[in-house]
């Protein structure tokens, strides 16, 4: 084919594919196919420079590094938004907005406030011609070459584009990619970014666009600067037109409301959805929809009267590390814990935070006495993000991992290739407590909280799992905060737990790397406990999904005489189970499912059990081996990953139809 024609064809194909992937969230090409076509176009343009165009997708990569950024004056200043931090502040703003609107409540549109960095993007006659940072609002920096590399930002608009279009938007760093980049930076001993917002801003201000290109920034358009030729009467209408031009807007997330209550409901929904999103959202932006009304309402010095950012409670605060201690987990893993000057984060007082492993203390460069950024996301344990090194006084001390277990004084071992040091003593009280808590939880025995287990272990009443079944009501009733009735209930719960399933028991023993799904595979494959206890690693590896490491852990656990003796006592205490269901023959045989987002018709656990009963597997992470991802409302990164990998996606109803057919 004639090169010019082929280049045109490829440009159209690749541009459409990018739009489908990044803007519509509905891929039409596999990654591999995209890459192949992309390279074909690159080669073609290299061989025939005359066929290259300014809007070619190949222009999205690699411009030469620069020495500095040129300054650009914004035609229309980039203002900021007034913030409301509380219900009351939002209520006050709402009342003022109603007044400014002449007394009647205007219709508001509500968007997520994406926590990234503000940019302006300019199109002339449909062609991307440049863009800039917000700067001081009047003058920003020309970051055209970097913006060009952002996937999802078209280099040419579709359809008939207005003469000049200045767009306002937010560039953000997707969370999974952010975590991955930080890990890689840390592994190379380079400085990590404190949060995705800094990462987005830092990446956009890279002098070498090649670096920016390798980082998967995204953009969402949420407004206009100057526009010549775009006719819209409302914000929603404007976003619709922009989307039709092929731009990634926040229009799909738009909600409407008038009263404070209606908008509060939207605020609450976004706050609840926050942890499952692929990007950081730090609030909602409430805007008057009608452009004419906006004009009437006008501006304050730095912000419009027709919009406000209603922030979420912050998830990060800065506080000081008073001291460091070390906690010992169920598997003996030693984890450094920072004791903090108490600080309120998102309504909860935080006084301790973990650094997931001691390597991280070194990598994050955290010292005792440091001011640190602490982050609390949802219900997870608060985590130290990093030190605020500018606030160091020189009085800070390095933390050192102890050589002996802080609980039982056994010499700590650090296995080769493992990040975490461990206490090797299986009867270490910390390990026993962890094992008992894990067991009672996994067996569904209600009423065994941390305080109770602490007492059982510290008073030498329970030294292992089997000892639980020898407990008497009198023994329990003698413990702190324990009445006769609760003691009786615990004994009853223990008694009931003796009739169980093999997979549940196996999963509850606390063998490292043996979770629910491995336990199920083992139970199905061997059918009974004895053959598992006596299996060689080779036999264990015949179970699908059991690899060398898992087999070694299982074998070592059952080879340990005290574990074996404990299991014998458990059996003697009357543990019984039904024969496991055979794995063969189920309708979902060989299929792997991942559930993400909310399920409406059943609990996630029920859905997973259903899959298992029909011979399939439910897993928590999406990979190329996943057969189906079942996605409900508010699905997040797993859905993105499924799309990326081309894994088939089902709605909950489609899934139900499949299992019931």
| Interacting residues with ligand IVH (CB under 6 A) | 79-81, 111, 113-114, 118, 170, 222-223, 250, 285, 304, 307, 309
Q: Which is nearer to ligand IVH, 55 or 278 (CB)?
A: 278
Smallest gap from residue 369 Cβ to ligand IVH (A): 34
Exposed/middle/buried for 273, CB within 10 Å: 0-12, 13-18, 19+?
middle
Closest CA to 535 of 517, 563, 556: 556
Sheet of 218-228: strand order equals 127-133, 117-124, 164-172, 218-228
| Catalytic-labelled residue, pool 113, 364, 433, 641 | 113
Helix (H, G, I), strand (E, B) or coil at 265: helix
Q: Which is nearer to ligand IVH, 137 or 483 (CB)?
A: 137
Rg of the chain in Å (alpha carbons): 30
Give the separation between CA 524 and CA 521, rounded to whole angstroms.
Answer: 5
Q: Which is nearer to ligand IVH, 250 or 642 (CB)?
A: 250
Smallest gap from residue 234 Cβ to ligand IVH (A): 15
Smallest gap from residue 183 Cβ to ligand IVH (A): 27
Q: Are 66 and 293 in contact (CB under 8 A)?
A: no
Q: Are 117 and 204 in contact (CB under 8 A)?
A: yes
- 113 among known catalytic residues: yes
Helix (H, G, I), strand (E, B) or coil at 579: coil
Half-sphere exposure of 148 (CA within 13 A, CB side): 23
Q: Which is nearer to ligand IVH, 57 or 112 (CB)?
A: 112
Smallest gap from residue 32 Cβ to ligand IVH (A): 34
Q: Which is nearer to ligand IVH, 307 or 407 (CB)?
A: 307
Residue the block writes with tokens 């690899």? 547
Smallest gap from residue 122 Cβ to ligand IVH (A): 17
Q: Which is nearer to ligand IVH, 309 or 622 (CB)?
A: 309
Q: Which helix (H) or strand (E) holds 90?
A: helix 87-100
Q: Are 285 and 308 in contact (CB under 8 A)?
A: yes
Smallest gap from residue 349 Cβ to ligand IVH (A): 28
Exposed/middle/buried for 176, CB within 10 Å: 0-12, 13-18, 19+?
middle
311-338 per-residue burial string, b: 16 or more CB within 10 A, e: under 16: bbeebbbebbbeebebebbbbbbbbbbb
State the catalytic residues: 113
């Amino acid at each position: 084919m004639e090169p010019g024609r082929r280049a045109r064809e490829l440009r159209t194909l690749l541009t459409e594919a990018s739009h489908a992937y990044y803007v519509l969230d509905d891929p039409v090409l596999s990654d591999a196919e995209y890459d192949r076509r992309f390279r074909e176009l690159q080669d073609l343009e290299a061989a025939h420079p005359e066929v290259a165009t300014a809007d070619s997708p190949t222009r999205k990569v690699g411009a030469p590094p620069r020495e500095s950024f040129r300054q650009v004056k914004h035609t229309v200043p980039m203002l900021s938004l007034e913030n409301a931090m509380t219900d009351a502040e939002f209520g006050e703003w709402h009342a003022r907005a109603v007044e400014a609107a002449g007394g009647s409540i205007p219709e508001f549109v509500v968007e997520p406030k994406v926590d990234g960095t503000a940019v302006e993007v300019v199109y002339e006659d449909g062609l991307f011609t440049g863009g800039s940072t917000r700067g001081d609002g009047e003058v920003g920096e020309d970051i055209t070459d970097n913006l060009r590399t952002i996937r999802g930002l078209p280099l040419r608009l579709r359809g008939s584009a207005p003469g000049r279009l200045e767009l306002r938007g937010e560039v953000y760093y997707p969370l999974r990619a952010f975590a991955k980049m930080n890990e890689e930076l840390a592994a190379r001993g380079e400085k990590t970014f404190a949060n995705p917002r800094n990462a987005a801003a830092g990446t956009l201000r890279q002098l070498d666009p090649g670096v920016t290109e390798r980082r998967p920034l995204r953009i969402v358009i949420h407004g206009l600067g100057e526009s010549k030729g775009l006719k819209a009467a409302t914000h929603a209408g404007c976003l619709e037109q922009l989307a039709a031009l092929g731009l990634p807007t926040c229009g799909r997330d738009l909600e409407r409301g008038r009263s404070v209550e209606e908008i509060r409901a939207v605020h609450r929904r976004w706050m609840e959805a926050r942890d499952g999103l692929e990007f950081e959202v730090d609030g909602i932006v409430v805007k008057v929809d009608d452009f004419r009304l906006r004009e009437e309402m006008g501006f304050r010095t730095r912000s419009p009267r027709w919009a406000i950012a209603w922030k979420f409670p912050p998830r990060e605060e800065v506080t000081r590390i008073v001291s460091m201690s070390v906690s010992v987990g169920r598997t003996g893993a030693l984890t450094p814990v920072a004791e903090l000057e108490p600080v309120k984060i998102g309504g909860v007082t935080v006084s301790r935070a973990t650094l997931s492993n001691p390597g991280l203390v070194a990598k994050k460069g955290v010292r005792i006495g440091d001011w640190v950024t602490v982050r609390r996301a949802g219900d997870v344990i608060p985590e130290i993000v990093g030190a605020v090194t500018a606030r160091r006084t020189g009085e800070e001390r390095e933390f050192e991992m102890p050589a002996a277990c802080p609980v039982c004084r056994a010499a700590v071992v650090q296995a080769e290739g493992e990040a975490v040091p461990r206490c090797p003593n299986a009867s270490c009280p910390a390990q026993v407590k962890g094992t008992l808590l894990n067991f009672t939880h996994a067996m569904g025995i209600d009423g065994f909280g941390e305080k109770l287990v602490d007492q059982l272990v510290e008073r030498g009443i329970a030294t292992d799992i089997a000892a639980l079944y020898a407990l008497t009501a009198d023994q329990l009733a003698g413990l702190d905060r324990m009445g006769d009735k609760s003691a009786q209930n615990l004994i009853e719960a223990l008694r009931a737990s003796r009739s169980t399933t093999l997979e549940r028991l196996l999963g509850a023993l606390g063998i490292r790397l043996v979770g629910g799904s491995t336990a199920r595979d083992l139970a199905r494959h061997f059918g009974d406990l004895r053959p598992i206890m006596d299996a060689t690693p080779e036999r264990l590896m015949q179970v699908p999904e059991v690899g060398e490491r898992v087999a070694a852990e299982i074998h070592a656990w059952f080879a340990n005489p005290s574990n074996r003796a404990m299991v014998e006592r458990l059996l003697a205490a009357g543990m019984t189970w039904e024969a496991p269901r055979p794995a063969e023959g189920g309708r979902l045989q060989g299929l792997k499912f991942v559930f993400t987002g909310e399920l409406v018709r059943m609990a996630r656990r029920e859905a997973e059990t259903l899959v298992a009963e029909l011979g399939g597997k439910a897993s928590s992470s999406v990979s190329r081996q996943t057969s189906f991802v079942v996605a409900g409302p508010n699905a997040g990164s797993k859905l993105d990953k499924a799309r990326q990998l081309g894994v088939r996606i089902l709605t909950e109803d489609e899934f139900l139809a499949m299992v019931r057919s």
